[in-house]
Structure formats: structure tokens, C-alpha cells
Amino acid sequence: MFVDAFARGIQVIRTFGPEREKQTLSDVAACAGISRASARRLLHTLLHLNYVHFDGRYFSLKPTILDLGYSYISSMAFGEFAVEAMHDLASRTNSSCSIGILEGYDVLYVARISVRRLTARVFPIGGRFPAHILAMGRPQLAALSDDALDKYLANAAIERFTPYTVVDRDELRRIIRADRERGWSVVKRELDEGVCAIGMPLKNKSGRVIAGLGLGLRPDRADDPAVIEEARVEIAKAVETINGLVRLRG
């Protein structure tokens, strides 16, 4: 049932990245772990379909490749009304906000409204970080069954990003279970010393958690309980709007 040629073609697309922006045929074949003949046919197909550029020596992706991810972005359950609610939230709080979806051990950014630069870190759509280190990831872990959460904690790569990163698995379990009780999460300086955020779960019509909404907190004010409470109230309004629209959508 499995179509090898299709899987290898996808693998070829994925060989391109920050350090591999332009590649020769041999680069692609080596990185994808396929023969030169196979790489040549797949790159030729991508060239023909207008997804890659070839300058005679180097292949590079063309922006048309975004059409593939765009099929997802434009068909997202949240759709345009989530973007509106996110704009309102960002403008009320003058902070960036993001929607991310738990996929395996990562949260993938699927929408972001960015209001100013708090940090040198960039969070592009399609980017991913470990779920337990994101304010929009923890509420999704909190929604897992105890067994699934234990499995996550036992198998996730728990890396130290900053001196503030919680790397103790029992401590993480305790934090995530407490977040489950109160319905929201705060992550302070664990991914980047300049990044603090508050997060809440987004639900589908059946009430199942399907994503997380995160709102940036100014790191210099993130220890003030009044600031957290204000952010909690604001993000809760946005969550209510988005969940309400998801329910309405039929």
C-alpha cells in the first residue's frame, strides 16, 4: 500500500533547510539517503511542478512550496475567526500571541500575531518546540490521560535551554497536573531568558482539547501576580470567543 516514490519525494523536500538552502543533486541524494538517479527524478518532478529552482548547479525550494502547508493553514478548524480573536487579544494586551498544536513531543506553531520584538527568538509558522516548555503546550499535556502524560514524560527529550528550565520529570508532572486543575499554564524564561507566556487550552465541539493559545508576558513584569491575573482574564476572553465560534461552526 505504501508508495515509496511519494515518501522519497517528501523526504527530498525536507532535505532543504536553514543550513541546506541550496543543494547539488549529490547533496540531496546523500541527505535523503537515496540514489542519485532517484534524487534526479524526484528533483526533476519538483522542477516540473514549479516547486524548486535550478541554477545549473544548485537546487533550491521556491515559495510555491508553501502551497502544501497552506492547504492546512487555510483549512484549519480555527480559521479566520481565531485570527480575529487573536488580533483583539494582542491589541488589548499589546503582546504577541500564538496558537500551537501538540504533535508527538512538539507543539507546532500554526498561527501567530506578533506585536513587537520581546526577544531575538523568532517563532515562524510551522516552527516547533518541545511541548512541556511552551505555555501553549502544557495545557495540552495537562489534557492527556495520566498514562499518556507519564509516557510523554518518560520518553520526551528534556533539554536544558536556560537556567530556569525545569528538567526534573517529577517536578514537570507536578506542574502539569496543577495546571490541569486550574486550567491554565505559565512558563517563565524556560525556553529563552527573554520569553514568558501564559497559555490555555482550545477545545473542539465535543470539548476535546485540540490546541493551545499562548500570550506573551513582559519578562520584567512576569513575576507580578496582578500582571499574571490580568493576562489570565484577557486570554480567557479570547479562548471563550474562539471556543464559542468553533462550537457554532456546526
Interface with its own copies (CB under 8 A)? 1-3, 5-10, 13-18, 20-21, 40-42, 44-45, 48-51, 60-77, 79-80, 83-84, 87-88, 90-91, 101, 103-104, 108, 110-111, 113-117, 120, 122, 124-127
Least distance to its own copies, CB of residue 40, Å = 7
The packing angle between helices 79-93 and 225-248, to 10°, is 160
Residue 117 or residue 221: which is nearer to its own copies going by CB?
117
Cβ 142 to its own copies shortest distance, Å: 19
Cα distance between residue 130 and residue 231, in whole Å: 23
- Rounded to 5 degrees, what angle do the CA atoms 172, 176, 177 make? 115
Report the residue number, 84 or 193, with the smaller CB distance to its own copies. Answer: 84
- Mention every residue, 6+ apart, whose C-beta is less than 8 A from residue 104: none
The minimum distance between CB 177 and its own copies, in angstroms, equals 26
What span, in angstroms and rounded, lies between the C-alpha atoms of 43 and 3?
17
Shortest Å distance, C-beta 197 to its own copies:
17
Nearer to its own copies, 90 or 172 (CB): 90
Q: Report the residue number, 80 or 229, with the smaller CB distance to its own copies.
A: 80
Packing angle, helices 4-14 and 36-48, rounded to 10: 80
If the CB atoms of residues 91 and 167 are measured against its own copies, the closer one turns out to be: 91
Q: What is the closest distance, in whole angstroms, from the C-beta atom of residue 16 to its own copies in the complex?
A: 4
Q: How far is the CB of 181 from its own copies (least distance, A)?
A: 27
Nearer to its own copies, 66 or 236 (CB): 66
User: CB atoms < 10 A from the CB of 60, how many?
Assistant: 13
Helix-strand-coil percent breakdown of the chain, rounded to 5? 50, 20, 35
Q: What is the DSSP letter of 220?
A: G
Alpha carbon distances (Å) from 163 to 50, 67, 112? 46, 40, 27
Q: How far is the CB of 82 from its own copies (least distance, A)?
A: 10
Nearest residue to 148 (alpha-carbon basis) of 128, 176, 126: 176
- Specify the 3-state DSSP secondary structure of 31: helix
Residue 18 or 225: the one with the smaller Cβ distance to its own copies is: 18
Sign of the torsion formed by the C-alpha atoms of 155, 149, 83 and 185: negative
